[in-house]
Structure 1
Amino acid sequence: MTTAYRPRRDYGWFLRNRNYAVFVARELTSVFVAWAIVFLMVVVDAVLNGGDPAAFAGRPWVIALNVLTLAATAFHAVTFLNLAPKATVIRLDGYRIPDWMIQGGNHSAWLLVSAVVAYFVLRSP
């Protein structure tokens, strides 16, 4: 009786190609996006129930995790917005809009929304 051939698994297949490595890194940053949502829900729950959100948010490990989360979500957002021209083809008068215009519009909208949010969060009461 013979056994079936099972090739060895290569768990580092994505490291051989930069595009694959960036893709896998972007997908892994989704974990940090999920943490940001959970953290926001914990803070909102503390505020609504009369608790002190700073008691949890001020812990050193939470601060370190949130700094890492900021970097990971920024990487996630930039790489996601850079992929938009590949998924969105816009034609104007029969001509395709260049990729840089779509990326520029996406990044400009992101900057504008971030500026508006920063204005409301950072303004003095």
Structure 2
Amino acid sequence: MTTGYRPRRDAFWFARTRSYTLFVLRELTSVFVAWSIVFLLMLIDALADGTLPEFAALAARPWMIALNVLALAATCFHAITFLNLAPKATVVRLDGWRVPAWMIQGGNHSAWVLVSALIAYFILRSP
């Protein structure tokens, strides 16, 4: 039995369309989100074990700083695109009136900024 013709797949099929490119980039940022979680767990472990100076020395290395800056940018991109997709996944109705997408996005982004500012306040305030 013979199989039909199967054309070769293009490895960069997603690069031809902007929406596909953003989708693939968003999925790839999950790796950096996972790294951020691992880094936070390493920090908690260093605090619990009393090895904070060694962790601080590791975190101060230039390659680690570059990795964490890249992870921050990727995590922000991931969060923004996630919040922008919320109106497509959630339909909110109030008395039969459908809440517009921009209101859902605005509420999500406002909550994100508020929670981030609150966390920054408690972390950065001087003792």
Give the TM-score range, shorter chain.
over 0.9
Question: Which residue does the alignment assign to 1:35?
Answer: 35
Opposite residue 43 of structure 1, the aligned amino acid is: L
Question: Which residue does the alignment assign to 1:21?
Answer: 21
Q: CA RMSD in A?
A: 1.2
SS at match of 2:50: coil
SS at match of 2:112: helix
Moved over 2 A (4+): 1-6
* TM-score in terms of structure 2 length: 0.93
Opposite residue 6 of structure 2, the aligned amino acid is: R
Unaligned runs of 5+ in 2: none
Percent identity between the aligned chains? 73
Matches within 5 A, 1:95-106: 95-106=97-108
Opposite residue 21 of structure 1, the aligned amino acid is: T
Distance 2:10 2:97 in 1: 43
Question: Which of 77, 91, 114 in structure 1 is aligned with 2:93?
Answer: 91
Question: Which residue does the alignment assign to 1:7?
Answer: 7
Question: Which residue does the alignment assign to 1:124?
Answer: 126
Question: What is the aligned residue count?
Answer: 125
2:46 is the counterpart of 1:58? no
CA displacement, residues 30-84 of structure 1 (integer Å, 9 cap, x when unaligned):
0000000000111111111011221211111110000001110001100110000
Distance 1:43 1:10 in 2: 41
Unaligned runs of 5+ in 1: none
SS at match of 1:11: coil
Opposite residue 30 of structure 2, the aligned amino acid is: S
Distance 1:116 1:9 in 2: 48
Opposite residue 60 of structure 1, the aligned amino acid is: P
* TM-score in terms of structure 1 length: 0.95
